[in-house]
Structure 1
Amino acid sequence: MLHDWPILGACLGAALVPYLIERFVFKNRVGIFAFLFWILLLQFLMMYLSVNAATLLENNKWVFLAVLIKGSVQWLL
């Protein structure tokens, strides 16, 4: 998981640029780019937290629940 953080940072940084332009140039607090940036951020956060939770459940013999969580994450990807 740690080797994915530079890629994740690059994706969020690329999504942050239009948000910052919209925020500081147009003085618009909630615009389309802000909405898209926060949706993207929440999606990445949900995927990373779900994979870690599924691994923890799998290690503690909760295999059925872990497969359900991993399946939902793979469906998102």
Structure 2
Amino acid sequence: MNFFTDALRRLWQPRKPLFWLAFGFNALASFMSFFIQTKEPPPTLALMVGLLALTNSLIGAWLTWRLWNDPPQDQRPDD
């Protein structure tokens, strides 16, 4: 099997809750970064939101790494 298709199979596992946690943390970090860039909040608020976005990115990366190292579930239904 191709390296890229195998890597995608390991990451794209919507039946696992870990997939949705990683997706949620990464999406939330992206939203917070977008908020800081577009709204230009006061420096204190920008620092707090930036630290939260960084924390979310790190947690999302860790969850993605765990998902990547877990073997994919069989996609066939059980008989």
Bigger helix share: 1
Q: Pick the TM interval, shorter chain.
A: 0.3 to 0.5
TM-score w.r.t. length of structure 2: 0.43
TM-score w.r.t. length of structure 1: 0.44
